[in-house]
Amino acid sequence: MRALVTGVAGFIGSHLTESLLGDGWEVIGVDCFNDNYGRATKLHNLARAREWDAFDFVPIDLSRGGLDDLVDVADVVFHLAAEPGVRDSWNQRFQLYVTNNIIATQHLLDACRRRPDVQLVYSSSSSVYGQAEAFPTSERALPRPFSPYGVTKLSAEQLCTLYAGNFGLRTVSLRFFSVYGPRQRPDMAFSRFCSAAIAGEQINVFGDGLQTRDFTFVADIVAGLRLAGSVRPEPGSVYNIGGGSQASVRDALEIIQSHLGTPLNVSYGDPEKGDVRNTSADISLARAELGFAPAVTLADGLMAQLSAALATAQLA
């Protein structure tokens, strides 16, 4: 089997690629190294994948099109490439979100029209729900994005659905809930918390820390992606992928403090525009139709992320 993984140098893409390679897949990975964080960090993410002869890296910008040759040789397309993050999606950077999240997705879908047998798995986001009215939130809930980022993720997801309806493309969209783990983007909360805690620096929290999230460890996300790539659900299907670890930010900080064994210096501030108060995933549909079952607790997942951050700090 051969997979095309877009956004291969990113947090989730690099973990998925290693999982596929470890099981004997061939992987073509593409990335354009957008400037949301350092190129050196992204190249480091690919270090293990580059050890496999079955891995081929192609630096390419999906938004410029010309993707037919890449799709033609793939059995499954895992579309993870995106301009990430709620907080940076306002103002002038919004154009980048439109280009990298919507235009790039349409170009990829157009290329897939030549291969109606290929399965495309799109990485959507719980951000499409915005301030949800019910918890846990099911796929039947009306999407109400609360940030420009959420708008672009929902737009790309709907492109997948309409290409399935109009052209019969085998698309599956997975709505990820608060993914964390080793290699998490430097700007994300747990990454910042772990780095500051290890250095003995102040941890800055947006909001009062009582906001809750359905935290999902990256290995569980990879499992969901692989299931969606192997099962043949109805084209255009949408599934929640959550970790079953709904907790407050303060709960997470207490776990980090317990693992380190030293008090944390935490400062609470105003919430950022676009951040929602709570998220919680109803994963019953993914459990029933994909066989998805999250396996990593928040305590174990944070231990893994903290251990990775400690190892990195010791090498610095």
Q: Which residues are identified as catalytic?
A: 149
Closest CA to 214 of 261, 166, 171, 179: 179
Whether 97 and 83 have beta carbons less than 8 Å apart is answered as: yes
Contacts of 53 (CB under 8 A, 6+ apart): none
**Do residues 10 and 35 make contact, with C-beta atoms less than 8 angstroms apart?**
no
In one letter, which amino acid is 100?
Answer: N
Q: How far apart are CA 30 and CA 32, in angstroms?
A: 7
Q: Exposed e or buried b for every residue in 187-225, given b needs 16+ CB within 10 A?
A: ebbbbbbbbbbbeeeebebbeeeebbbbbbbbbbbbbbb
CA distance 167 to 211: 41
43 within 8 A of 21, measured Cβ to Cβ = no
